[in-house]
Chain A
Amino acid sequence: MATKIVVDPVTRIEGHLRIEAQIEGGRIVNAWSSSTAFRGIETILKGRDPRDAHHFTQRFCGVCTTVHSMASIRCVEDALKIRIPDNARLIRNLIMAIQNVQDHVIHFYHLHALDWVDIVSALQADPAATAKLAQSISDWPNSGVTHFRTVQERIRAFAGTGRLGPFQNAYWGHSAYRLPPEANLMAVAHYLEALEWQKDIIKIHAILGSKNPHPQTFLVGGMAIPVDPDSQNAINADKIAHIGKLLKQARTFVEQVYIPDLLAVASFYKEWAGIGGGVGNFLACGDFPMDNEGGGDNLYFPGGVILGKDLANVMPMEEDRITEYVTNSWYTYAKGDDQGLHPFDGETSQKYTGPKPPYQWLDTEGKYSWVKSPRYQDQPMEVGPLARMLVAYGRGHQEVRDTVSFVLGKLGVGPEALFSTLGRTAARGIETLLLARKSELWLNQLADNMGRGILEVHNGEKWEPATWPVEARGFGFHEAPRGALGHWVRIEKGLIVNFQAVVPSTWNAGPRDAMGQMGPYEAALIGTPIADPEKPLEILRTVHSFDPCLACAVHVLDGRGTEIIRVRAL
Chain B
Amino acid sequence: MNQQTDEKDDCSVPEEVLQRWEGRGISRRDFLAFCSTMAATLALPVSFVPKIAAALEADNRPAVIWLEFQSCSGDSEAFLRANAPTAAEIILDTISLEYAEVVMAAAGHQAEAAKAAAVEKYKGNYIAIVEGSIPLGEGGVYCTVGGESAVDTLKKVVGNARATIAVGSCAAFGNLPAAAPNPTGAVGVRDVLPGATLVNLPGCPLNAENLTATLVHILTFGKLPAVDRLGRPLFAYGKRIHDNCERRAHFDAGQYAEKFGDPGHRQGWCLYKLGCKGPETFHNCPTVRYNEGTSWPVMAGHGCIGCSEPEFWDSMTPFYWRLPQVPGFGIELTADQIGVGFAAGTALAFGVHGVFSAFRKGDAMESDKVKKEE
Question: Which residues of A come within 8 Å of B, CB atoms?
Answer: 6-16, 36-41, 43-44, 48-49, 51-52, 55-56, 59-63, 65, 106, 110, 114, 119, 150-151, 153-154, 157-158, 161, 163, 165-171, 192, 195-196, 198-199, 202-203, 205-214, 216-217, 219, 221-228, 231-234, 350, 352, 354, 356-360, 455-458, 460, 463, 535-536, 540, 551, 556, 564-570
Point out the residue from A11, A209, A213, A456 that lies within 8 Å of B261, measured CB to CB: A456
Point out the residue from B73, B313, B320 that lies within 8 Å of A14, measured CB to CB: B73
Point out the residue from A36, A211, A212 that lies within 8 Å of B143, measured CB to CB: A36
Check B108 against A566 for contact (C-beta < 8 Å). no
Say how far B215's CB is from chain A's closest CB, in angstroms: 14
Q: Please name all residues of chain A whose beta carbon is closer than 8 Å to the beta carbon of B97 when the two chains form the complex.
A: 165-166
Check B261 against A460 for contact (C-beta < 8 Å). yes
Point out the residue from B25, B135, B150, B318 that lies within 8 Å of A48, measured CB to CB: B318
Check A166 against B349 for contact (C-beta < 8 Å). no
Q: Please name all residues of chain A whose beta carbon is closer than 8 Å to the beta carbon of B315 when the two chains form the complex.
A: 568-570
Point out the residue from A10, A150, A551 that lies within 8 Å of B71, measured CB to CB: A551
Check B302 against A216 for contact (C-beta < 8 Å). yes
Alpha-carbon gap, A210 to B296, bound state (A) = 5
Given contact pairs A52-B320, A356-B139, A567-B180, A163 touches B205 in the complex (Cβ within 8 A): no
Given contact pairs A11-B111, A39-B184, A211-B295, A62 touches B300 in the complex (Cβ within 8 A): no
Q: What 9 additional pairs, Cβ within 8 angstroms, besides A224-B301, A565-B181?
A: A13-B101, A16-B143, A56-B176, A63-B77, A166-B97, A203-B291, A207-B295, A210-B296, A356-B139
Check A222 against B260 for contact (C-beta < 8 Å). yes
B336 interfacial by beta-carbon distance below 8 Å:
no
Check B73 against A63 for contact (C-beta < 8 Å). yes
Given contact pairs A11-B101, A43-B183, A226 touches B148 in the complex (Cβ within 8 A): no
Alpha-carbon gap, A543 to B182, bound state (A) = 31
Check A206 against B349 for contact (C-beta < 8 Å). no
Given contact pairs A8-B146, A62-B74, A114-B105, A458 touches B140 in the complex (Cβ within 8 A): no
Say how far A216's CB is from chain B's closest CB, in angstroms: 4
Q: Please name all residues of chain B whose beta carbon is closer than 8 Å to the beta carbon of A52 when the two chains form the complex.
A: 317-320
Alpha-carbon gap, A231 to B327, bound state (A) = 31
Q: Please name all residues of chain B whose beta carbon is closer than 8 Å to the beta carbon of A205 when the two chains form the complex.
A: 291
For the complex, count residues of B whose C-beta is within 8 A of A: 106
Alpha-carbon gap, A208 to B151, bound state (A) = 39
Q: Which of A8, A49, A114 has the most CB of B within 10 A?
A: A8
Given contact pairs A52-B317, A59-B204, A569-B348, A213 touches B78 in the complex (Cβ within 8 A): yes
Point out the residue from A60, A224, A360 that lies within 8 Å of B72, measured CB to CB: A60
Check B268 against A357 for contact (C-beta < 8 Å). no
Alpha-carbon gap, A358 to B68, bound state (A) = 17
B186 interfacial by beta-carbon distance below 8 Å:
yes
Q: Please name all residues of chain A whose beta carbon is closer than 8 Å to the beta carbon of B141 when the two chains form the complex.
A: 352, 354, 356-357
B1 interfacial by beta-carbon distance below 8 Å:
no
Q: Please name all residues of chain B whose beta carbon is closer than 8 Å to the beta carbon of A51 when the two chains form the complex.
A: 318-320
Q: Please name all residues of chain B whose beta carbon is closer than 8 Å to the beta carbon of A14 when the two chains form the complex.
A: 72-73, 102
Interface string of B150-193 (1 = CB under 8 A from A): 10100000000000000000000000110111111010000000
B299 interfacial by beta-carbon distance below 8 Å:
yes
Alpha-carbon gap, A291 to B82, bound state (A) = 36
Say how far A188's CB is from chain B's closest CB, in angstroms: 12
Given contact pairs A210-B302, A460-B259, A564 touches B204 in the complex (Cβ within 8 A): no
Q: Please name all residues of chain A whose beta carbon is closer than 8 Å to the beta carbon of B111 when the two chains form the complex.
A: 9, 11, 169
- 22 intermolecular pairs with C-beta atoms under 8 Å apart: A14-B102, A36-B145, A37-B142, A38-B184, A39-B135, A39-B177, A51-B319, A52-B318, A52-B319, A63-B77, A65-B72, A153-B23, A167-B105, A171-B105, A196-B88, A198-B80, A210-B295, A231-B268, A233-B267, A354-B141, A357-B140, A536-B108
Check A357 against B266 for contact (C-beta < 8 Å). no
Q: For window 309-330 of chain B, which residues contact chain A by CB distance below 8 Å?
A: 311, 313-321, 324
B369 interfacial by beta-carbon distance below 8 Å:
no
Residue of A at shortest CB range from B295? Answer: A206
Q: Please name all residues of chain A whose beta carbon is closer than 8 Å to the beta carbon of B70 when the two chains form the complex.
A: 37, 39
Alpha-carbon gap, A556 to B324, bound state (A) = 32
Given contact pairs A52-B318, A119-B105, A208-B300, A8 touches B73 in the complex (Cβ within 8 A): no
Residue of B at shortest CB range from A14? Answer: B73
Check B148 against A358 for contact (C-beta < 8 Å). yes
Check B176 against A44 for contact (C-beta < 8 Å). yes
Check B104 against A196 for contact (C-beta < 8 Å). no
B98 interfacial by beta-carbon distance below 8 Å:
yes
Residue of A at shortest CB range from B316? Answer: A570
Check B295 against A213 for contact (C-beta < 8 Å). no
Check B144 against A37 for contact (C-beta < 8 Å). yes
Q: Please name all residues of chain A whose beta carbon is closer than 8 Å to the beta carbon of B72 when the two chains form the complex.
A: 14, 59-63, 65, 551
